[in-house]
Homo-oligomer: A and B are copies of this chain.
Amino acid sequence: MQRTLRRHALEIFRAALRAADPAEAVQRHVRLHGNVLQAGRRRYRLDRFDRIFVVGAGKASATMARAVEGLLHRRITGGLVSVKYGHTDRLRRIELHECGHPIPDAAGVQGARRIAELVRQAGRRDLVICLISGGASALLPAPAPPVTLAEKQETTRLLLGCGATIHEINAVRKHLSELKGGQLARLAAPATVLTLLLSDVIGDNLDVIGSGPTAPDSSTFATARGVLEKYGLLERVPRSVADRIERGVRGEIEETPKPGDPLFRRVQNLIVGSNRLAVDEAARKAKTLGYRTLVLSTFVEGETRDVALVHAAVVKEIRASGRPLRPPACVISGGETTVTLRGDGLGGRNQEFVLAAAMALSGHDRVVVLSAGTDGTDGPTDAAGAIADGHTLARAQQLGLEAGRMLANNDSYHFFEPLGDLLKTGPTHTNVMDIRVLLVGG
C-alpha cells in the first residue's frame, strides 16, 4: 500500500514535470494546421504574413525556440533569443545569443539592442513571436540612455536594501528601460506580436514575467518617483536615474504603454507553461489514479517548515474526519517557499518541506508526502526534492538519523540520502517553481 502510494506520488509529479517542459509546453499550446497557426484560442493565417521573426530571452527560451523551429521550420525569417552562457542549442533559423545571468552584462545589453532593431523594422505584414521564460529580465537589459547598465543595477540594489517589494522595484525598473513594461510590443508595432511565456512567478502576472516586455504596464513615472520618495532614495540613486524619472513625470519622456492602449489589439500574451498548468496536469493524473483531489493553492509561499505544518494539518484532518476530502485523497500545491538558514547543513526548500511534513505525520499510516522543484535542483544539491511517508521517521531512527536536529541544522539532504528517499531528476531546463503532492490512502 505504502509502496503504491509512493509510486503514485512520483507519477503525479512526473505528469507535472511533463507539462512544464519548455518544448512540450510550446507544443501543447501552439499548433500548426496547414496554413493556420493556432495559439491558445487565437488563430493566425500565416499567408497573411510576409515574415516571421522570433525573439526572446530566458533560461528555458533556447528549448522554446527549438520547439518553434520544429513547428515553423523555414517559414521563420530569422531571429535572436538571449540565453544564459552555456544554455545554447543548435538552431537553423534563430540565433541564440549567450549573455550574463543573474547579473546582466554588456553582452546582454548588446543582445537587447539587436532584438530592438529587429522588431523595429517589422511591419504590418510581419509576425513577431516572442519567447519569454524565467531569467528574461536579466538576460534582456535595455537601460534607457543616458542611464547605464551599472546605474540601473545600482538603483535595483538600493531598492532591495530598503525592503522595497518586487512590484515597487519593477515600477522603477520599467521606467529606466527601453523594452520592459510593454515597450517591446510598441517597438514591434504595427507588426502582430505573439508572446509565449513560461512563467516562473507566483500569480503569473503578464507584467511581472520577464518584466512584461509585451504586456501593458499600469505603473507610471509618477509611481516610480513615489517609490523612490517612499524609501528616501530620490537623492541617493544615480543622477541620471533621478533625472530620467523627473523628466518622465513632467511628460518629457513617453510613458510605457498602458492597459487599453490600442497597440495591444495586435498582441497576444499566451502562458504556455506555469506552476498552475503543471499543477493542473498533476491533479488530472491524480484523478485518473483514483484519488479525490484538492488543489490547495498555486500561490503558496512562506517559511518552509511552517508551510509544511499546514499541509500536514490538512492531511491529519482528511484522516480524522474525511474533510475536506475522503481518502483515497490527494492534496496538491504549488508556488515557492523560503528557508531561513539557521544551520550549516545541506538541503533545499523541497527536501526541508518533506522532512518537516514527515515529522508532523510520523506514525500515520498510508500517508505519503512529496515535494520537488520543477527545475530539478533543490538548493545547492543534486536532488530535486524528496519523498517520505508516516514510517520514514522510524526508519531514520534505526539508522541513527535525528530528524529534529537535522531539520534545525537545515540538513535535509543528509537525512534523505541514507534513506534512499531523495528525488533526482537531473536538470530539467525549465522552472515553474515547486510542486507538492500529499497522498492519503483509503
Which residues of chain B have C-beta atoms less than 8 A from A222's C-beta?
Answer: none
Provided the pairs A276-B321, A316-B203, A321-B276 are in contact, do residues A300 and B310 lie with their beta carbons within 8 angstroms? yes
Interface centre among A303, A313, A404, by most B CB within 10 Å?
A: A313
A307 to B323, CA, bound (A): 19
Interface size on A, residues (CB 8 A): 31
* Shortest beta-carbon distance from A171 to chain B in Å: 14
A163 within 8 A of B: yes
Within 8 A of B (CB), among A380-410: 404
Which residues of chain B have C-beta atoms less than 8 A from A303's C-beta?
Answer: 303, 306
Which of B276, B299, B302, B317 is in CB contact (< 8 Å) with A298? B317
Provided the pairs A163-B404, A203-B316, A313-B300 are in contact, do residues A295 and B324 lie with their beta carbons within 8 angstroms? yes
A296 within 8 A of B: yes
Which residues of chain B have C-beta atoms less than 8 A from A324's C-beta?
Answer: 294-296, 324
A316 to B310, CA, bound (A): 16
- Nearest residue (CB) in B for A317 is B297
A163 to B316, CA, bound (A): 23
Do B294 and A302 touch (CB < 8 A)?
no
Do B300 and A323 touch (CB < 8 A)?
no
Copies of the chain in the assembly: 2
Interface centre among A305, A306, A314, A320, by most B CB within 10 Å?
A: A306
Do A309 and B302 touch (CB < 8 A)?
yes
A53 to B276, CA, bound (A): 60
Q: Write the A312-333 contact mask toward B (1 if CB under 8 angstroms, else 0).
A: 1110110011011000000001
Which residues of chain B have C-beta atoms less than 8 A from A323's C-beta?
Answer: 295
Q: Write the A281-308 contact mask toward B (1 if CB under 8 angstroms, else 0).
A: 0000000000000111111111101110
A333 to B306, CA, bound (A): 15
A307 to B294, CA, bound (A): 18
A335 within 8 A of B: yes
Which of B296, B312, B317 is in CB contact (< 8 Å) with A317? B296
Do B313 and A309 touch (CB < 8 A)?
no
Provided the pairs A303-B303, A306-B303, A307-B309 are in contact, do residues A320 and B203 lie with their beta carbons within 8 angstroms? yes
Provided the pairs A302-B309, A306-B306 are in contact, do residues A297 and B276 lie with their beta carbons within 8 angstroms? no
Within 8 A of B (CB), among A222-264: none
- Nearest residue (CB) in B for A333 is B313
Do A335 and B320 touch (CB < 8 A)?
no
* Shortest beta-carbon distance from A263 to chain B in Å: 26
* Shortest beta-carbon distance from A259 to chain B in Å: 16
Which residues of chain B have C-beta atoms less than 8 A from A309's C-beta?
Answer: 300-302, 307
* Shortest beta-carbon distance from A433 to chain B in Å: 12
A320 to B294, CA, bound (A): 16
Which residues of chain B have C-beta atoms less than 8 A from A320's C-beta?
Answer: 203, 276, 298-299
A296 to B303, CA, bound (A): 19
Provided the pairs A306-B307, A307-B310 are in contact, do residues A317 and B294 lie with their beta carbons within 8 angstroms? no
Within 8 A of B (CB), among A64-95: none
Do B301 and A314 touch (CB < 8 A)?
no
Which residues of chain B have C-beta atoms less than 8 A from A297's C-beta?
Answer: 310, 313-314, 316-317
* Shortest beta-carbon distance from A138 to chain B in Å: 26
A313 to B312, CA, bound (A): 16
Which residues of chain B have C-beta atoms less than 8 A from A316's C-beta?
Answer: 203, 297, 299
Which residues of chain B have C-beta atoms less than 8 A from A333's C-beta?
Answer: 313
Which residues of chain B have C-beta atoms less than 8 A from A302's C-beta?
Answer: 305-307, 309-310
Which residues of chain B have C-beta atoms less than 8 A from A311's C-beta?
Answer: 310
A317 to B294, CA, bound (A): 12
- Nearest residue (CB) in B for A276 is B321
Do A295 and B307 touch (CB < 8 A)?
no
Do A313 and B295 touch (CB < 8 A)?
no
Question: When A and B form their complex, which 3 residue pairs have the shortest distance between CB atoms, in order from nearest?
Answer: A306-B306, A302-B309, A302-B306
Selected A-B contacts with CB under 8 Å, 5 pairs: A298-B320, A301-B309, A303-B306, A306-B310, A310-B311
Q: A299-B313, A313-B333 are in contact. List 7 more A-B contacts (CB 8 A).
A: A296-B310, A297-B313, A297-B317, A298-B313, A299-B320, A302-B310, A324-B324
